[in-house]
Structure 1
Amino acid sequence: MAATAEQVEVPAPDGSVRSVRISSPDRVMWPASASGTQVTKIELARYVAAVGDALLRAVGDRPVTLQRYPDGIDGEAFYSKNPPRGVPAWARSVPVVYPSGRSHPQLVIDEIATAVWTIQMNTVTLHPWPVRTTDLDNPDELRIDLDPQPGRAFSDVVEAAVVLGDLLREWGFTPFVKTSGNRGLHVFARIAPTREFLDVRHGVIAVARELERRIPELVTTAWWKEQRGDKIFIDYNQACRDRTIAAAYSVRPLPGAPVSMPVRWEALRDITPADFTVHSVPMLLDSEGDAWQAMADGGDGVIGDIERAITAWDADVSERGLAELNFPPDYPKMPGEPPRVQPSKKNSENWEDDGVTPKP
């Protein structure tokens, strides 16, 4: 008979031990595939416990959205923003404001036991906001998602990330890189929480445009897929309010149970996304340490100033005539935003010559 529940014990902040109940421990979250062996719910919970300290550095003190798969990754999924029922007494939540203006509580992970408990709720991937609970409107992380279009190799994404890393250093940031868990890379940098989401988004757009000027054959800021070709999309909209990127050390709902894995810049050309899975990451973390430890510690020189990037945004607007870019489709129409019309379907008779202003 299959086990009805198992306990996973993890350290609590006060030095005691918490025991987290995992029901249906034999539930198959990842079926066996050509990419790897099957992974059960209890194995996922034990993985989270094993990488708990590093995971907590990535998600701690941040509102978190849970990507949940009640029947495993081949079943239906949903994003849980409100804290699920049965949240433990030791967990907390904070009220966050969404683009629509509405507000509701969102879970905060302050200890490893809470992260393990999210597995009890069939969570696969954690999606933390780029803010701390002490300042929910001003991001303390700059995040850039390099999203390769079909036809691009991972080695191309690596080359784009290397140029991006150099650019960020020139502009006063200390960049850190991780695999997305799929085909792309995520580049992060800590920033002082001095500007709100829209300003940080403009700073990210300025970085993206400069990267596009440096390697136009490789990357693009084109929002519409029909305009991207086979280039790597620099997803600037991950800087929007209520837009999140999979957490470092979080598992992705893809065959083989790949992990979004922090790596050191000097190792970037020597790795592949398939190197990092539920099975391999705990041992790699034990042997090589956390490549993002310095970002979490926030030591000298790690926390950058977004003002340099915002100044570049202003220069693009005033000197080059560049303007706002498209927002996600669920956002309200934003000031200065281009038409939300797919370029191939746009009727020029309805727009002024600038392509942005509707004709009266």
Structure 2
Amino acid sequence: MATSKAVELDVGDRTVRVSSPDRVVFPDLGVTKRQVVEYYLAVGDGILGALLDRPTTLERWPRGVFEGAVMATRSDSHGDAFYQKRVPKGAPDFVRTARIAFPSGRTADEVAPHELAVVAWAAQLGTLTFHPWPVRRDDVESVDQLRIDLDPQPGTDYADAAQVSLTLREVLDELDLTGCPKTSGGRGLHVFVPLQPRWSFQQARRATIAVGRELERRLPQRVTTRWWKEERGEKIFVDYNQMARDRTIASAYSLRPNRRATVSTPLTWDEVTEVHPDDFTIATVPDRFAERGDLFATLRSDRDPASNCSLEPALALAHRDEEEHGLGDLPYPPEYPKQPGEPKRVQPSRAKADGGS
């Protein structure tokens, strides 16, 4: 098949070259690479607000989203798609970076978008989903967003997460935290909180655990903070480790690599239980954005400084959990070095089997 000629798109003061613009990225919909880039330009203020000056991992699908496509992993680098954590070679000179440190101690220079042309350039490389850190390039050790991931487990779905989020909103309100909900683009729901001053990763993760435990106390039949899948049951898992270093969540307005080309979309609280993730796609979100603007603008301190929140009440709740209930830390992901105060990182069924041998 002949390759279509490259096109040049004006993005602000830049010109972004899009190679093979007619290459199909979402076969079921016939959506091309050029249309993906144009989607990100249509929601430009929103996607740039979500990524602005944040070190960002690029989830690249250079051959598109096709049946049987697989994601490369740490153990197998062969795949049709991959996560780009280091700035790609040959990046334009206008692409800024931020140096971040992984849990292993290794470092990397990640893309840190500061203008829409960077987003368009990344989309031309096959980036569908942007995964920004909850920090800014001027201080990569200090968190300015709390991110709460309501993750439906087998037997539950988005509707269950949406119902749980209403109680989560109550908990956040009691802790003087302003929650901003969005669809994940899949079955889950994300709630972001703007923070000021900034906090450490350890503090943000500890606060998230405290919020999750309070939600679990109020909805014990519907919510879990259990790290091990065998213990979660048919509940909504509050994935507190999404606040650990080098763990990221798909940004608002990011496309998701599925057959429907869904979009992780900001919502109002009134909408949360009335919508379905499939309502928000590459075809529908641009019109919604043009009509309603950026519903995540509250997260931008330059737009709404009054919305910034302190973690002190949530950390006080964490302290009460420790003092009154003996509830300490929870397990980190397996690739992390053992952390001070972390409980034994062994799957319960394996620990029981080892203990009985």
TM-score, normalisation: structure 2: 0.92
Aligned to 1:130: 134
Superposed displacement of residue 258, structure 1: 0.3
1:1-360 paired onto structure 2 within 5 Å = 1-11=2-12, 17-32=13-28, 37-74=29-66, 75=69, 76-296=80-300, 297=302, 299=304, 301-347=306-352, 350=355
One-letter amino acid of the structure 2 residue matched with residue 57 of structure 1: G
CA contact (8 A) 2:298 2:304 kept: yes
Q: What do residues 292-322 of structure 1 show as CA deviations (whole Å, max 9, x unaligned)?
A: 1222245354111011111111111111011
Looking at structure 2, the residues matched to 252 and 212 of structure 1 have their Cα atoms a distance apart, in angstroms, of 29
Gaps in structure 2 of 5+ consecutive residues: 70-79
Cα gap change, 1:104 to 1:153, in 2 (>3 Å):
closer
Superposed displacement of residue 347, structure 1: 3.4
Looking at structure 2, the residues matched to 143 and 193 of structure 1 have their Cα atoms a distance apart, in angstroms, of 16
Superposed displacement of residue 27, structure 1: 1.6
Identity over aligned pairs, percent: 46
Gaps in structure 1 of 5+ consecutive residues: 12-16, 352-360
Looking at structure 2, the residues matched to 49 and 168 of structure 1 have their Cα atoms a distance apart, in angstroms, of 33
CA contact (8 A) 2:18 2:34 kept: yes
Looking at structure 1, the residues matched to 303 and 137 of structure 2 have their Cα atoms a distance apart, in angstroms, of 17
Aligned with 1:202: secondary structure? helix
Looking at structure 2, the residues matched to 226 and 301 of structure 1 have their Cα atoms a distance apart, in angstroms, of 42
Looking at structure 1, the residues matched to 293 and 198 of structure 2 have their Cα atoms a distance apart, in angstroms, of 31
Looking at structure 1, the residues matched to 353 and 263 of structure 2 have their Cα atoms a distance apart, in angstroms, of 45
Looking at structure 1, the residues matched to 160 and 145 of structure 2 have their Cα atoms a distance apart, in angstroms, of 25
Looking at structure 2, the residues matched to 143 and 125 of structure 1 have their Cα atoms a distance apart, in angstroms, of 17
TM-score, normalisation: structure 1: 0.92
Looking at structure 2, the residues matched to 53 and 88 of structure 1 have their Cα atoms a distance apart, in angstroms, of 21
CA contact (8 A) 2:297 2:304 kept: no
CA contact (8 A) 2:157 2:188 kept: no
Aligned with 2:210: secondary structure? helix
CA contact (8 A) 1:174 1:301 kept: no
Cα gap change, 1:194 to 1:57, in 2 (>3 Å):
closer
Superposed displacement of residue 338, structure 1: 2.3
Aligned with 1:262: secondary structure? coil
Looking at structure 1, the residues matched to 338 and 31 of structure 2 have their Cα atoms a distance apart, in angstroms, of 43
Q: What do residues 151-192 of structure 1 show as CA deviations (whole Å, max 9, x unaligned)?
A: 213221111111111211110111100000000100000011
CA contact (8 A) 1:181 1:259 kept: yes
Superposed displacement of residue 78, structure 1: 0.9
Aligned with 1:211: secondary structure? helix
Aligned with 1:140: secondary structure? strand
Looking at structure 2, the residues matched to 302 and 122 of structure 1 have their Cα atoms a distance apart, in angstroms, of 35
CA contact (8 A) 1:62 1:131 kept: yes
Looking at structure 1, the residues matched to 333 and 354 of structure 2 have their Cα atoms a distance apart, in angstroms, of 25
Aligned with 1:198: secondary structure? helix
Cα gap change, 1:274 to 1:344, in 2 (>3 Å):
same
CA contact (8 A) 2:45 2:294 kept: no
Looking at structure 1, the residues matched to 303 and 20 of structure 2 have their Cα atoms a distance apart, in angstroms, of 39
Cα gap change, 1:275 to 1:349, in 2 (>3 Å):
closer
Cα gap change, 1:258 to 1:349, in 2 (>3 Å):
closer
- What is the aligned residue count? 342
Aligned to 1:356: none
Superposed displacement of residue 260, structure 1: 0.2
Superposed displacement of residue 2, structure 1: 4.1
Aligned with 2:171: secondary structure? helix
Q: What do residues 118-176 of structure 1 show as CA deviations (whole Å, max 9, x unaligned)?
A: 01211110000000111110100000000001221322111111111121111011110
